[in-house]
Structure 1
Amino acid sequence: MAYWDWPGQMGVDPHRVVICVHGLSRQGRDFDVLATALSAHSRVIAVDVAGRGHSDWLADPMAYQVGTYAADLAQLVASLRAVDADLKVDWVGTSMGGLIGMVLAAQPQIGIRRLVLNDVGPVIQWEALCRIGSYLGRNPSFESEQEAANYLRSISTGFGPHSDEQWMALCRPLLRQRDGRWWLHYDPSIAVPVRALTDNVDQAAARKSVADGEAFLWGLYDAITARTLLLRGGDSDLLTRETARSMGERGPKALCVEFTGVGHAPTLVAQDQVGCVRDFLTAA
Structure 2
Amino acid sequence: MTQPRLHSVQCLGARGLHRMAYAEWGDAANPRVLVCAHGLARQGRDFDVFAQAMSDRYRVVCPDVVGRGRSDWLADPAGYQIPAYVSDMVTLLARLDARELHWVGTSMGGLIGLGLAALPGSPVGKLVLNDVGPVIEAAALQRIGAYVGAPGRWPSVEAAADYLWSISASFGPHTREQWLALTRPMLKPCADGFELHYDPAIAVALRAITPEAARAGEAALWAAYDALRCPTLLLRGADSDLLSRDTAQAMTQRGPRATLVEFEGVGHAPTLIAPGQIAAVREFLLAP
Same fold by TM-score, threshold 0.5 exceeded?
yes
Equivalent residue, structure 2, for 1:8? 27
Instruction: Return the match for 2:137 from 119, 125, 128.
Output: 125
Q: Which amino acid aligns with 1:56?
A: D
Q: Who is 1:135 aligned against?
A: 147
Task: Give the aligned partner of residue 283 of structure 2.
Answer: 279
Q: Deviations over 1:71-128 (max 9, x none)?
A: 00011112222xx5xx110000000000000000001322100000000000000110
Aligned to 2:169: 157
Q: Could you say what secondary structure the match of 1:226 adopts?
A: coil
How far 1:224 sits from its partner (Å)?
Answer: 0.4
**8 A Cα contact 1:74 1:110, kept in partner:** no
Equivalent AA in structure 1 for residue 71 of structure 2: S
Letter of the 1:185 counterpart: H
Aligned twin of 2:267: 263
* Structure 2: 5+ residue stretches without partners: 1-19
Once the two structures are TM-superposed, the CA of residue 180 in structure 1 deviates from its matched residue by 2.4
The answer as to whether partners of 1:121 and 1:243 remain within 8 angstroms in 2 is: yes
Question: Would you say the 8 A contact 1:20–1:47 is kept in 2?
Answer: yes
Per-residue displacement from partner, 1:116-157 (whole Å, max 9, x unpaired)? 000000000011001100000012111211111000000001
1:119–1:233 contact (8 Å) kept in structure 2: yes
1:216 matches 2:220: yes
- Bigger share in helix: 1
Corresponding residue of 1:200:
none
| Aligned residue runs from structure 1 range 1-284, under 5 A | 1-8=20-27, 14-81=30-97, 87-197=99-209, 206-284=210-288
Aligned-partner SS, 1:109? coil
* Deviation (angstroms), 1:15: 1.5
Unaligned runs of 5+ residues in structure 1 are: 198-205
- AA of the residue aligned to 2:36: C
The number of equivalent residue pairs is 269
Cα deviation for residue 208 of structure 1 reads 1.6
Residues 26, 52 of structure 2: 8 Å contact kept: no
Higher share in strand: 2
Give CA-to-partner distance per residue, 1:210-268, whole Å, 9 cap, x none.
01100000000000011000000000000000000000000000000000000000000
In 1, distance between residues paired with 2:101 and 2:227?
17
Partner Cα separation in structure 2 for residue 131 and residue 211 of structure 1: 19
Deviations 1:32-78 (A, max 9, x none): 01100100111100000000000000010111011110100011112
2 CA distance for matches of 1:8 and 1:141? 38
Pairwise CA RMSD of aligned residues?
1.1
Q: Structure 1: how far apart are the matches of 2:207 and 2:215? A: 16
Distance in structure 2 (CA, Å) of the matches to 1:158 and 1:8: 34
Q: Which residue identity lines up with residue 50 of structure 1 in the other structure? A: V
Aligned match of 1:202: none
Cα distance in 2 between the residues matched to 1:211 and 1:184: 31
Q: Quick check: 1:116–1:228 contact (8 Å CA) kept in 2? A: yes
Counterpart-to-counterpart distance in 1, 2:120 and 2:113: 12
Contact 1:77–1:110 (CA under 8 A) maintained in structure 2: no
- 1:269 is displaced (CA, Å) by 0.5
User: 2:10 matched to which residue of 1?
Assistant: none
Task: Report the Cα distance in structure 2 between the residues aligned to 1:131 and 1:264, rounded to whole angstroms.
Answer: 11
Q: Given residue 72 of structure 1, which amino acid in structure 2 is its aligned partner?
A: D
